[in-house]
Amino acid sequence: MKMSKVLLFVGLFSLSSVVLQSGEWGNWRGPNYDGSTDEKNLPTNFSKTKNVIWSVKMDGPSAGTPIVWGENVFVSSSNPSQKRLSANCYDRKTGALKWSHQVAKGHNQDNRSNYASPSPVTNGEVVTFFYGGGELATFTVDGDKLWDLNMQEKHGQFAFLWTFSTSPLIHNDTLYMQVLQRDTKVSGKGSDDNRSYLLALDPKTGKQLWKTYRPAKARSESLEAFSTPIPFSHDGRDEIVIVGGDCLTGHDPKTGNEIWRWGTWNPSRITHWRLVPSPVAGKGVILACGPKRAPVFAIKAGAKGDVSSESESIAWNSEGSRDGVTSDVSTPLFYRDNFYVLYGEGRDKMLSCVDPKSGRINWATNLNSRSLFRGSPTGADGKIYVQNHAGLVHVVDANNGKVLHKAEMGEKGDDQTRASIAVAHGKLFIRTNSRLYCIGKS
């Protein structure tokens, strides 16, 4: 970049802390970090030809949620044949490609996902992309590269059985990355002294601000987490909440120091309970979802120290496989003062509306889907939008659980479509394996 451009950028970046996310979708769970937005006047009925503002072909599959801010839509993409991982920016109004950069080479570690699974993140001034091979790259919104690095080269080889996926977080001008991994080698990767950590960087330079290690008592695969950290504020106390390794922890955003800890959903220390759902907060509680039909736990906000043995720290917990309120992969939604928990596995794919104070089930709906759900539900305009593996988008009434519409957005034979749906500027942004759609009322 020319020096005049750099000075202008730094001046603009200093104002980013006052830029609000209202109307934008700057991270994978939206402006409230819980999957919800106040957007209204969204379509209920749509298809690949109805209420389509524009659509564009994708380079290859990605589980990353489209990120929308201002006039830009940021999307990660993979190209399986060329082993190319790219960062892309499209015009929000027309779908025209504004810029594209190859960030890394590669595609996948296993056949269940690919390196482009993490979602980008932006604060309106910079946009950061992360890929499962460890590549981390930040650009201006106009596409000028600011910096890049490989986290494995700088902090040690990852120790995950599956392809690592966590999305970066930018909060109050700090870029956060979590790596919750095994403490031993797995499939020849990592080392026998691996440590899990939370990392803070300067988003505009990549300079490390701090790194804090995050121990856990979990064993083997149960140390692996594919969740994403969230910022949370309660009674004037700000924190970064992360979940994995059989426990939930809150950290000081300025130092990374652990403020509190709760665990576990795994008292018998089962070794194969990797964790995928991210934490979500609402009405004074923070949800932690145990995997593989385990219960959902609502932990009271405001804890200090280790509250694992304090029964009063739990507001409530579901019964998991017995009451159907469980989630193996999908992160719950908090919308209009309720939690919406999706279990997208097995024969019955259940979406449950749960009271945040008591854990009471207000309603539960069987989505009657043959395909699995691995994306997370989005709440907007009184509706819940969620996409299954086949690219079939379900539109559900948030008040009563009635399925209002099903839209076949995927192509014939599609499988493992995982991206969640973004909502911004009165539009839905739906990422299938092969296309990106902008949906709105014509």
Domains and CATH numbers, the chain: 3-439 (2.130.10.10)
Q: Is the pLDDT of residue 342 over 60?
A: yes
State the chain's mean pLDDT as an integer. 94
Provide mean pLDDT across the span 310-337.
96
Extract the tokens encoding 341.
């928990």
Tens-place pLDDT, residues 114-155: 899 999 999 999 999 999 999 999 999 999 999 999 999 999
Task: Give alpha helix (H) positions in 29-185.
Answer: 151-155
How much is the pLDDT for 17?
35
Question: Rounded distance, CA 329 to CA 109, Å?
Answer: 19
Percent of the chain with pLDDT over 70: 95
DSSP, collapsed to helix, strand or coil, labels residue 70 as: coil
Choice among 15-24, 167-176, 184-193, 197-206 with the minimum mean pLDDT: 15-24
C-alpha closest to that of 64 among 56, 51, 73: 73
Q: Is the pLDDT of residue 4 over 80?
A: no
- Main-chain dihedrals φ then ψ at residue 17, nearest 5 degrees: -65, -20
Position of tokens 């659509």? 55
| Cα–Cα distances in angstroms (integers) from residue 414 to residues 56, 85, 411, 440, in the given order | 17, 20, 5, 24
What b-and-e string marks burial along 171-204, b requiring 16 or more CB atoms within 10 Å of the CB? beebbbbbbbbbbeebeebbeeebebbbbbbebb
CB under 8 Å to 279, separation ≥6 — which residues?
Answer: 227, 229, 230, 241, 242, 243, 248, 286, 287, 288
- Main-chain dihedrals φ then ψ at residue 19, nearest 5 degrees: -75, 125
C-alpha closest to that of 244 among 210, 283, 268, 217: 217
pTM value is 0.94
Tens-place pLDDT, residues 10-63: 444 444 333 456 689 999 999 999 999 999 999 999 999 999 999 999 998 999
